């Protein structure tokens, strides 16, 4: 069982009457609500939390891409991954991901991911989401009807750019390039593992199955409502005769650990309230531009036999009972999480341990308890399967170490690094 | 009368509505599609042979995947006219259909004998932004489309079926239509008509509802500054759905212009 500590990087200081007074947390959230000085503190606080997760033994550090969004302050998750590459050394950098249809040309993503992979010594997970309708259609103006086609083309181009041995030309419908010649190219061969974050489009399951990619269901609806999607994924894998390997499924779950169940409720319920009632106040007209979802996916949703998750106005008890959050003492979390992971057949958990307005010290406590008293008990789960979707970094002996800050300048710049010493080109 | 017509050697199968007889009048519908039957087209059918195709992606018309942009759409209509043996026709287009009608006339100046653009899309004026109807709350739509959002007509158009399956089917149809409309209108309904409109040589009539809140009448100015032979009729107590809100006045104005 593998664990990624996943950060959304929410703005923690939306006003109390946000839901009543403002239209949406996404797309047209007033820019006056963002204070860059607070933003400065938050980015640094959040990077501290991710670095802490590395230290306490999480397998991956997760970041993602959103635009014009009050609960996700990472228009470019690659920048955060770059910051993490230097101050962490063990955990994988799980970038979930870059909405590849948005970049012109999509080679940009191939280049930046290659840079991150080389910089981090091969610790990158490359996430290729289609992207939400809010991000792609409303914020970035992509035509809904053509987005998916553009996405598939961008995917083909990036994979070919990573794997081709020679320069090639690319004559696509959306991108035409005379000279595709990736420099630098990724460290992991043939390329970093690809995870496809999805929001429930049924086409994505087949796409993952066909390419042997990991599918990560990213949502805030929790393990009970999420089953509608994961069941659909496993049915697709079964229909296509693919191995039901739990490591091929990632799942986001909001979680919170405190010494006792009662303390968990007392400590975390304000942050949960902030998350669902302020952060997730999304105008429904931005959720699904016509053409963003295919007719097949719409029909699948309309025929759903499970109830639709309710996303606001819930009490702590309802959040817990409805599986939106797994919270409580380490024992409670252990039990509920084990059951959830088994039901979902999930081998890569995206642990959302910071949510809403939760400050650094609370995040740290919950993270530490999770790492110490929950994670070790679940490690053995799925040990009969091989995880084919985690990165293959360089062995520690071959990795570059950032020089200590403040060392003598001669020491830092005058001599080449030891690992490169033998390869200096003589003039 | 409704028929299904193969167009472009089987590339498209088009649902075609025809009304009346006389000189041919090609009607290009807006993003909402055609009504069955359509009272305005019925009335025009008293004086003209009205030919109203559903654009691919609308109703029973197929081949939506072969149309990505306004040029593809305009050439589709050229092909449709070829296959119907219409060298030219009166061309009337409403809203998105007005935008496409202008493209049809600009790309081949011989196709339109006369052109009627009813509250057409196709331009973008920074100081008069067209509301984002793709994101609009369904409850706001009547206010954007109708002069009187509480009129029986507005209420009837917004009526949803109670049966779950019918409602699902209606929803799917709406998504299909708006998906196609997005190819011309998303995120801003300007695809460069301003570069091509100078080509339009057919006498052109603009018809606008005085209280159109979706594409306000001020947009007539943009069309008039690009199309050389262009006049305008503004109809009172009508919004964007002018042809259904003031059907008689609308048809009279069109008839007067086409027969003068």
Query: Mean pLDDT in chain A?
Result: 93
Residue spans of alpha helices (H) in A164-251 = 202-211, 222-225, 227-239
Interface check B190 vs A, CB under 8 A: no
The tally of domains found in chain A comes to: 1
Q: If you average pLDDT over residues A287-308, what whole number do you get? A: 79
- For the cut 80, the answer to whether the pLDDT of residue A301 exceeds it is no
Q: Using one digit for the tens of pLDDT, what is the confidence trace for B217-255?
A: 999 999 999 999 999 999 999 999 999 999 999 999 999
Phi, psi of A114 (to 5 degrees): -65, -40
A199 pLDDT band (50/70/90 cuts)?
confident
Chain B interface disruption, residue of A289, A293, A296, A301, most B CBs within 10 A: A289
What's the rounded Cα separation, in Å, for the pair B135 and B147?
20
Its ipTM equals: 0.93
Enumerate residue ranges in chain B where pLDDT < 70: none
Is A426 within a domain? no
Give a yes or no: residue A144 inside a domain. yes
Judge whether B165 is closer than 8 Å to chain A, CB to CB.
no
Does the beta carbon of A289 lie under 8 angstroms from any beta carbon of chain B?
yes
Q: Is residue A83 part of a domain?
A: yes
**B28 within 8 A of B98, measured Cβ to Cβ:** yes
B171 touches chain A (CB under 8 A): yes
Given a cut of 60, is residue A417 above it in pLDDT? Answer: no
Range of the domain at A388: 2-421
Give residue B125's pLDDT: 98
Domain boundaries, chain B: 2-259
| pLDDT (average), residues A325-350 | 98
Q: pLDDT category, A420, cuts 50, 70, 90?
A: low
Helices of type H across B138-188: 141-145, 152-157, 164-185
Question: Per DSSP, which regions of A286-366 are E strands?
Answer: 325-328, 348-352
Min Cα distance A284 → chain B (Å) is 8
pLDDT on residue A304:
59
Taking contacts as CB-CB distances below 8 angstroms, the residues of chain A near B172 are 295, 298-299, 302
- The stretch A283-300 carries a mean pLDDT of 90
Residue pair A31/A377 in contact by the 8 Å Cβ criterion: no
pLDDT at A302 over 80: no
d(CA B194, CA B91): 19
B34 CB-near residues (< 8 Å, 6+ apart): B17, B41, B52, B54, B58, B59
Interface contact B168-A291, CB threshold 8 A: no
Task: Give yes or no for B180 touching A (CB within 8 A).
Answer: yes
For residue B194, what are the contacts with CB-CB under 8 A and spacing of at least 6?
B123, B222, B226
Question: What topology does CATH give the domain B2-259?
Answer: Rossmann fold (3.40.50)
Q: What is the pLDDT of residue B209?
A: 98
Average pLDDT over residues A168-186: 97
- How confident is the model at residue A423, as a pLDDT? 64
pLDDT in tens, A218-231: 989 999 999 989 99
Is residue A427, in this structure, part of any structural domain at all? no
pLDDT of residue A427: 44
We report the CATH number of the domain holding residue A79 as 3.20.20.30
């Amino acid at each position: 069982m593998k664990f990624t500590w996943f950060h959304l990087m929410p703005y923690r200081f939306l006003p109390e009457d946000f839901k009543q007074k403002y239209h949406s947390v996404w797309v047209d959230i007033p820019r006056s609500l963002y204070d860059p000085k607070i933003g400065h503190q938050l980015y640094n606080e959040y990077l501290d939390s991710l670095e802490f997760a590395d230290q306490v033994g999480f397998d991956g550090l997760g970041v993602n891409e959103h635009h014009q969004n009050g609960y996700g302050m990472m228009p470019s998750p690659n920048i955060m991954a770059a910051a993490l590459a230097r101050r962490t050394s063990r955990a994988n950098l799980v970038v979930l991901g870059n909405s590849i249809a948005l970049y012109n040309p999509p080679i940009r993503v191939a280049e930046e991911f290659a840079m991150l992979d080389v910089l981090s010594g091969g610790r990158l997970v490359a996430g290729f989401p289609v992207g939400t309708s809010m991000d792609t259609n409303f914020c970035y103006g992509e035509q809904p009807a053509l987005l998916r086609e553009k996405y598939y083309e961008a995917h083909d181009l990036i994979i070919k750019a990573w794997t081709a041995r020679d320069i090639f030309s690319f004559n696509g419908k959306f991108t035409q390039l005379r000279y595709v010649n990736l420099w630098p190219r990724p460290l992991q061969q043939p390329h970093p593992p690809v995870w496809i974050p999805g929001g429930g489009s049924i086409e994505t399951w087949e796409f993952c199955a066909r390419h042997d990619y990991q599918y990560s269901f990213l949502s805030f609806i929790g393990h009970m409502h999420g089953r509608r999607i994961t069941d659909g994924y496993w049915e697709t894998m079964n229909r296509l005769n693919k191995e039901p390997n739990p490591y091929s499924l990632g799942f986001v779950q909001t979680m919170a650990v405190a010494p006792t169940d009662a303390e968990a409720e007392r400590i975390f319920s304000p942050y949960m309230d902030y998350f669902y009632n302020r952060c997730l106040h999304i105008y429904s007209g931005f959720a699904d531009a016509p053409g963003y979802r295919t007719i097949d996916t719409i029909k699948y949703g309309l025929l759903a036999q499970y109830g639709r998750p309710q996303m606001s106005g819930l009490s702590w008890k309802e959040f817990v009972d409805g599986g939106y959050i797994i919270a409580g003492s380490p024992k409670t979390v252990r039990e509920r999480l084990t059951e959830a992971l088994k039901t979902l057949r999930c081998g890569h958990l995206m642990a959302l341990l910071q949510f809403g307005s939760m400050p650094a010290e609370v995040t740290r406590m919950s993270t530490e308890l999770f790492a110490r008293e929950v994670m070790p008990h679940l490690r053995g789960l799925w040990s009969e399967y091989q995880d084919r979707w985690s990165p293959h970094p360089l062995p520690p002996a071959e990795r570059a170490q950032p020089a200590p800050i403040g060392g003598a300048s001669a020491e830092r710049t005058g001599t080449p690094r030891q690992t490169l010493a033998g390869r200096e080109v003589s003039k | 009368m409704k028929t299904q017509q193969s167009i472009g050697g089987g590339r498209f199968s088009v649902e075609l509505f025809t009304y009346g007889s006389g000189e041919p009048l090609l009607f290009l519908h807006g993003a909402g599609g055609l009504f069955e039957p359509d009272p305005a087209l019925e009335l025009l059918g008293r004086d003209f042979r009205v030919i109203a195709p559903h654009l691919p992606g609308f109703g029973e018309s197929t081949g939506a995947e072969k149309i990505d942009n306004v040029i593809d759409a305009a050439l589709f209509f050229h092909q449709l006219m070829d296959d119907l043996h219409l060298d030219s026709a009166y061309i009337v287009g409403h809203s998105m259909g007005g935008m496409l009608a202008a493209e049809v006339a600009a790309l081949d100046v011989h196709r339109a004998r006369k052109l009627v653009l009813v509250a057409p899309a196709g331009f973008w004026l920074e100081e008069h932004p067209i509301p984002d109807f793709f994101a609009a709350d369904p409850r706001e739509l009547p206010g954007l489309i109708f002069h009187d959002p509480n009129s029986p007509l507005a209420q009837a158009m917004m009526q949803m079926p109670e049966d779950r399956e019918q409602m699902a089917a209606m929803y799917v149809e709406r998504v299909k239509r708006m998906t196609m409309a997005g190819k011309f209108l998303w995120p801003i309904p300007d695809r460069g008509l301003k570069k091509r409109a100078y080509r339009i040589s057919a006498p052109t009539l603009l018809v606008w509802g005085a209280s159109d809140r979706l594409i306000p009448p001020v947009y007539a100015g943009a069309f008039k500054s690009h199309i050389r032979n262009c006049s305008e009729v503004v109809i009172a107590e009508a919004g964007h759905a002018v042809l259904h809100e003031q059907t008689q006045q609308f048809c009279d104005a069109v008839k007067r212009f086409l027969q003068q």
